[in-house]
Structure 1
Amino acid sequence: MFRTPLVIATALAVAFGFGILSSIYALRATVGFGAIALGPWTAFPNAQTIDADPYAKAHRARDGKLLLGSAEGLTFTAARDSEKRTLVENCRYEIAGLTPPARLWTLHAADSAGNPLEGTGNGLPTGVNAWSVLRGADSAFSIRISSSASAGNWLAIPEGRAPFLLVMTLLDTPTAGSSGVIDLSMPAINRLDCADA
């Protein structure tokens, strides 16, 4: 007598459970569709526009973060260096090259959830921007990223072995609305050495 309702209830519980878990996995796996990759850097130019796909809208709602509109700028993130190795805190890196045209750009390190890294403290530089960076004669720049101080442009990260992201935001840039964004280039991320190597 209770066999049929029990089977139906079990089937519904399994279906709803797998549906919810797969939705959570999909939202954590990607910001959405339409990503562009320039070397190790990735951006989602349509994430805050009316053309955003349902995954991008749901991801934005879950995180509670405001993203830049297409006329405001574009945020690039990098989880790997130019040789596709994961960025980790116990290694030293150098970002070298030029950015696409922008009125202003900023660079900071973040954890895997996209939150700015904490724990460097003591007034160490946790962010760099286009106005504060030292440049060469050809407008190229070189920024060292490490937990130990470095001469010139330096971005401090905490000591440890955790993976991290680099987040570069281009503000007021024609790149965000450009159909030729794939032809642009971002600076390279080169690993210099690691503490345990």
Structure 2
Amino acid sequence: MFRVPLSIAIVLVIAFAGATFSAVYALKATVGFGSIEIGAWKAWPVAHTKNADPYAKAHRARAGKVLLAGAEGLVFVADNDDSGQRLRGNCSYVVGGKTPPARFWSLHMTDAEDRLYAVDGPFPYAFHSHEVTRDGDGLFTIVLDRTPSAGNWMAIDGAPQHFRLILTLFDTPTAGSTRLEELEMPKIERLGCDDA
């Protein structure tokens, strides 16, 4: 007597759980379509506009983040170095070169879940365009390492977990450009790892 309703209830629970899992997986797997890649850097220039695809809108709603409008700026994310290897906290890196034209830019680190990268003590974990030192040609170099170094240095904790670099360009003419792929972005070079 209860066999048919029980079977229907089990099928509905499995269907609901499967649909929920697939939706969460899809939102974690992508920020949306229309990404551009320049070296190790990736950006989604239309993710915050009215032309954003449904995945980008759902990702934005789930994350609860207020994104920059097209005229305000553009956010680039790097998960890998220029050789294609994942960024890890037990490796040392040099980030440097040029940034696209912008009135102001900032560079900071997050963990794999997009939380600010936690560093113990009063160590620098971010830089912006007004505090970074440059050479005579206007190029900058930032070292990411466990041990302090002269010049621009950002602290990493030495744990083998993956982290991301976030470069935000504010008030930049490149945000509305159709030739974004031609921009010159900072290079990310791995110097070495503790487990190598």
Give the TM-score band, short-chain normalised: over 0.9
**Residue identity opposite 1:180 in structure 2:** R
- Counterparts in 2 of 1:79-118, with a 5 A limit? 79-118=79-118
Residues in 1 aligned to 2:164 and 2:105: alpha-carbon distance in whole angstroms: 16
- Local SS of the residue matching 1:99: coil
Q: Does 1:170 align with 2:169?
A: yes
Residue 41 (structure 1) shift: 0.6
The runs of 5 or more residues in structure 1 that have no matched partner are none
The alpha carbon displacement at 1:13 in A equals: 2.1
Aligned-partner residue type, residue 94 of structure 1 = V
Alignment correspondent of 1:150? 149
User: What is the CA distance between 1:98 and its match in structure 2?
Assistant: 0.6
CA contact (8 A) 2:119 2:155 kept: no
- Which is further off, 132-141 or 165-174? 132-141
Query: What TM-score does the superposition give when structure 1 sets the normalisation length?
Result: 0.94
Say whether the 8 Å CA contact 1:89–1:157 is kept in structure 2.
yes
Amino acid at match of 1:145: L
Partner residue in 2 for 1:196: 195
Q: Which amino acid aligns with 1:108?
A: H
SS, match of residue 170 in structure 1 = strand
Sequence identity (%): 49
- Counterpart of 2:35 in structure 1: which amino acid? A
Displacement after TM superposition at 1:47 (Å): 1.4
State whether residues 49 and 69 of structure 1, in contact with CA within 8 Å, keep that contact through their aligned partners in structure 2. Answer: yes
CA distance in 2, matches of 1:107, 1:80: 15
Q: Which aligned segments of 4 or more residues in structure 1 are displaced greater than 4 angstroms?
A: none
Equivalent residue number for residue 137 of structure 2? 138
Q: Does structure 2 conserve the Cα–Cα contact (< 8 Å) formed by 1:117 and 1:158?
A: no
Quote how far apart the aligned CAs of 1:188 are: 1.0
Once residues 58 and 26 of structure 2 are traced to their aligned partners in structure 1, the CA distance between those partners, rounded to angstroms, is 10
Q: CA deviation at 1:196?
A: 2.1
C-alpha distance in 2, partners of 1:173/1:45?
12
Alignment gaps of 5+ in structure 2: none
Structure 2 partner of 1:10: 10
- 1:96 maps to a residue whose letter is G
Displacement after TM superposition at 1:193 (Å): 1.1
Paired residues of 1:120 and 1:126 also in contact (CA < 8 A): no
Q: What TM-score, normalized by structure 2, do the two folds share? A: 0.95
1:151 is displaced (CA, Å) by: 1.0
Distance in 2 between the 1:2 and 1:161 partners?
A: 53
Counterpart of 1:56 in structure 2 is 56
Aligned to 2:25: 25
**Native 8 Å contact 1:120 1:157 kept in 2:** no
Q: CA deviation at 1:141?
A: 1.2
**Amino acid across the alignment from 2:45:** P
Cα pair 2:77 2:164 within 8 Å, conserved: yes
Aligned length: 196
Show the counterpart of 1:76: 76
2:52, 2:90 → 1: CA distance?
37
Q: What is the CA distance between 1:75 and its match in structure 2?
A: 0.7
The offset of 1:66, in angstroms, is 1.0
